Amino acid sequence: MKFLGAVALFVFILVLQNRHGNCQRPNVVNVGAVFSFDSVIGRAAKTAMELAVSDINGDPSILNGIKLNLVMADSDCSVFKGSIEALQVIEKQVVALIGPQSSAIAHMISFIANGLQVPLISYAATDPTLSSLQFPFFLRTTQSDWYQMAAVADIVSFYEWKEVIAIFLDDDYGRNGIAALTDALAKKMSKISYKLPLPINYNLSDMIYVLNQSKSLGPRVFVVHINPDSQLRFFDAVEKLKMTGSDYVWLMTDWFSTTLDSFPPKNESYLSTLEGVVGLRPYIPQTIQKRAFLSRWRKLQQNELVHSGLTTYGLYAYDTVWIVARSIDNLLQQAGGNISFSLSSMLNGTTSDKLQLGKLKVFDSGELLMNILSQTNFTGLTGKIHFTPDRNLIGSGYEIINIVQQEIHTVGYWSNFSGLSISPPKAVKNKETAVTRINQNLKIVTWPGGKSEKPRGWVIANDDRPLRIGFPRRASFTDFVTLNNDSHQVLGYCIDLFYAARKLVPYDVPFRFEPFGTGLANPSYDELVTMVADDVFDAVVGDIAIVTNRTRIVDFTQPYVSTGLVIVAPIDNSESSAWVFLKPFTPEMWGVTALSFLIIAVVIWILEHRVNDDFRGPPKRQIITMFLFSFSTLFKTNQENTVSTLGRMVMVVWLFLLLVITSSYTASLTSILTVQQLSSPITGIESLITSSSFIGYQVGSFAYSYLRDNLNISPSRLISLRSPEEFESALRRGSGNGGVMAIVDELPYVELFLQNRTDFGIIGRPFTKSGWGFAFQKDSPLATDMSTAILKLAENGKLQEIHKKWFCQLGCPADRRKDSEPNQLHLSSFWALYLLSGAVTLLALVVFLFRTIRQYIRYKRKQADPSSPSNTRCSQVIYSFFDFIDEKEEAIKRIFAHDTSQPQTNGA
């Protein structure tokens, strides 16, 4: 029996398919339309679609005499009712379904459209996710929120706002639109700091509740993404809460412009509460067709046939009907005039009182019609209409409007290929082009409060919720920051600096100080910084070191103190090296000085040998005299005198050089003999790491984690110390007696510790580089403004004044460091003197040689024998020249004098 029943059912289905498959050319084509009749969009869309049907049926060039029948159903803004109405409309064998304007209803109907292969064309559902592959039968004839949110993000970026608050409808339309905004803002290095959802059927109390939540938050840039509201109740709530001041920025998505367009003309009293609001409106070029249709609409309004303004979505609805009609006409031509349906096996036999699901049929040509629809390319009221591969309308962009003195002003335009501009977008491009938007521009915008200056876009705090500023309640080194137990005032160097910087911030910052720690021991600074990241504090003021692990979770200001970790250890003056007298000069300095003595010895001997008997005699005596004379000039005990002019000139410069060098040597040696010499074997961080001695650190300092994690020093070697008194006690006891060999701490603490303690000193130089700054929550704009204020304090000298006030009453602490050789004199300090002495010496030597060579040539001419051969060996000339030099100057002069005194005779 079951087999016979199945066969009968199969035969019945074949008959029905054959019957429908061979249907004749229809006289009427049904197209469904499901939308909310009594809504801002629906009222204009209903009239626009009826006008479109009338125009199509009156145009013989379209559908070739077939009547287009629009089957309308009211969804009443309900997903459930909209779905039921859609099924009832589809029962009437519609070939396409127009609407709905609600993205949430469009999601539900898209599943039905998928199953029955009926194209769903929406003129108002802007949810970007409707274009996903999940809904292949969905087509959008309006611009997706993906483009709209990109426009909003560009506006936020143009005005350099970094944080916004999103107020949205908590449904598919609202959530997915804000998700698109999140992505768009991320590309502009901005973000949505807070998301405040509204229920679908919100009322005034719901809006007041949400807006009240936002008043305690920092950002003041609001992006509102809700449904069009003919009463503009949202702004009633804004005005009631007095959120219309100059601190606020209200950015509205296109629901706002749609609402404004729906109002009757010459009724602008509703704009009185909207001063300074900025909104987006889909940009539709002014064409002849659009102007004609608008004139036609106004006549209908005058005859009271239309009770709504012509919204942008009304134009989209009109064009949508035309798109569907043209596509059906194309389909009929391709299908030979036949449109066929087949029974849906999934719903066969299912009935209800009002809805007979068994009558639902699959549209056999639905896929073909969908392809034709997606390839649409014609010009309508809204401009040129064609679609992207993901079935989105390629829109022409958005118009940016601003409400000023109860008038709507256009302040610019946005398109995905040109960005922000004061000129309308050019011809729509078929695909996006990546353009660097350098010349972004908008006209002057009037903001809430009537001001044209760009709002800051955020407030740090107000009197109701002041800024929560934490500070470390220190037990030691309280000069930096402390809480006075008697007056309960927060005092210290860091606090004074914070007050001075706050005065330079160009706006008021209400705040209250909140202590962290008991005051009995220094608190953990890592925990204190973490409390900023965890929103326990808005900021932390104090001696907070800027280190890597902290910068990952908070933002720091510009450093106001340069610091780093240093080593402090005991020092002693008693020990001294046996070779300490060599330390004033570097090896290079010693070498050049010794060489200079040798050069001076040789040069003076050369200059004095011919004229000074003190520099003559046997060779051994001359060598001794030469070097003893040179070195005795250091002590001014030389017995020999310089006779020649050139020799005296060289000695003047040489003695001046010796005077400077000996004075510097004496000063440097005195400093070395009196400077504190280390008694600790620690010479630097490397020797401290390799030793097995105990190392001290201050409680709460990052020194512990640095020594443990970065230098891999065993925690068992690290001893925590709480106060300067414990520092001193531990250093005096030493590592073997329950103390420490050295302490590692930040430079400012060590300087303060050493101010009145001469038995300790700093070894080497800081082995880390860091600074102190104030910590703020991530992306806090106050961090930037405080950084600017700190830089101004540094430039005007106020920073140094505050430092002197706290730490220089008895003189600023000086570094006590054991450098490699801190008082050594380098050659670079005296190179000019050495150069001068060398130049004078060389000049004297050149002058001497020139004069001597001239005398030698004259001498040889006098001694020349005409009968002797003229060619003489070079070696003989050199030996003869040296013999000439060895002669005394007086003897040579006598020879010249004797030759000139003999009478001259003439030959016969």
Does residue 512 lie within any of the structural domains?
Answer: yes
Does residue 604 lie within any of the structural domains?
Answer: yes
Helix (H, G, I), strand (E, B), or coil: what is residue 482?
A: strand
Residue type, 574: S
pLDDT of residue 769: 86
Spatial distance between the Cα atoms of 488 and 5, rounded to a whole number of angstroms? 94
Q: Which residue reads 């003190």 in tokens?
A: 614
pLDDT of residue 868: 52
Compute the Cα dihedral for 106, 110, 112, 118 and give only its sign.
positive
Does residue 4 lie within any of the structural domains?
Answer: no
Q: Please check whether residues 523 and 634 belong to one and the same domain.
A: no
- Give exposure, 769-804, as e/b (b: 16+ Cβ within 10 Å): ebbbbbbbbeebbbbebbbbbbbebeeeebbeebbe
Q: What is the CATH number of the domain that holds 776?
A: 3.40.190.10
Q: Please check whether residues 126 and 203 belong to one and the same domain.
A: no
Q: Please check whether residues 249 and 339 belong to one and the same domain.
A: no
Compute the Cα dihedral for 191, 195, 198, 199 and give only its sign.
positive
pLDDT of residue 669: 77
Compute the Cα dihedral for 399, 404, 406, 409 and give only its sign.
negative
Spatial distance between the Cα atoms of 160 and 419, rounded to a whole number of angstroms? 15
User: In the chain, which residues have pLDDT < 70?
Assistant: 1-25, 265-269, 336-338, 340-341, 343-359, 427-438, 572-578, 613, 636-639, 671-680, 809-823, 859-908
Spatial distance between the Cα atoms of 123 and 144, rounded to a whole number of angstroms? 10
Q: Please check whether residues 597 and 628 belong to one and the same domain.
A: yes
Does residue 432 lie within any of the structural domains?
Answer: no
Residue 766 tokens, joined: 């800081």
Q: What are the φ and ψ backbone dihedral angles of 306, each rounded to 5 degrees?
A: -130, 130
Residue that terminates a domain, selected from 647, 674, 701: 674
Domain containing residue 240:
145-289+396-421
Q: Please check whether residues 188 and 281 belong to one and the same domain.
A: yes
Residue that terminates a domain, selected from 768, 789, 819: 768
Spatial distance between the Cα atoms of 718 and 712, rounded to a whole number of angstroms? 11
Distances (CA, A) of 643 to 75, 354, 626, 649, 871: 124, 138, 14, 10, 38
Name the nearest CA neighbour of 382 among 292, 316, 310: 316
Does residue 181 lie within any of the structural domains?
Answer: yes
Q: Which residue reads 């001359």 in tokens?
A: 622
Q: Please check whether residues 268 and 400 belong to one and the same domain.
A: yes
Does residue 734 lie within any of the structural domains?
Answer: yes
Q: Please check whether residues 178 and 72 belong to one and the same domain.
A: no
Q: Concatenate the DSSP letters of all residues of 6-65 into one string.
A: HHHHHHHHHHHHHHHHTPPPPSEEEEEEEE-SSSHHHHHHHHHHHHHHHHHHT-TTSGGG
Residue that terminates a domain, selected from 737, 768, 799: 768
Q: Concatenate the DSSP letters of all residues of 336-378 into one string.
A: TT---EEE-TTTTT---SS--GGG-EEETTHHHHHHHHHT--E
Q: Please check whether residues 269 and 407 belong to one and the same domain.
A: yes
Q: How many CB atoms lie under 10 A from the CB of residue 639? A: 9
Helix (H, G, I), strand (E, B), or coil: what is residue 243?
A: coil
Spatial distance between the Cα atoms of 728 and 629, rounded to a whole number of angstroms? 56
Distances (CA, A) of 556 to 552, 772, 782, 786, 825: 10, 9, 10, 10, 42
Spatial distance between the Cα atoms of 384 and 427, rounded to a whole number of angstroms? 9
Spatial distance between the Cα atoms of 193 and 777, rounded to a whole number of angstroms? 12
Does residue 251 lie within any of the structural domains?
Answer: yes
Q: Please check whether residues 280 and 412 belong to one and the same domain.
A: yes
Q: Please check whether residues 166 and 273 belong to one and the same domain.
A: yes
Spatial distance between the Cα atoms of 641 and 614, rounded to a whole number of angstroms? 8
Q: Please check whether residues 689 and 744 belong to one and the same domain.
A: yes
How many folded domains does the chain comprise?
A: 5
Q: Please check whether residues 473 and 495 belong to one and the same domain.
A: yes
Global pTM reads: 0.67
Map 167-193 to HEC letters: EEECCHHHHHHHHHHHHHHHHCCCEEE
For the stretch 6-57, pLDDT in tens is 434 443 344 444 444 444 567 889 999 999 988 889 989 999 999 999 999 9
Does residue 796 lie within any of the structural domains?
Answer: yes
Spatial distance between the Cα atoms of 270 and 289, rounded to a whole number of angstroms? 30
Q: What is the CATH number of the domain that holds 759?
A: 3.40.190
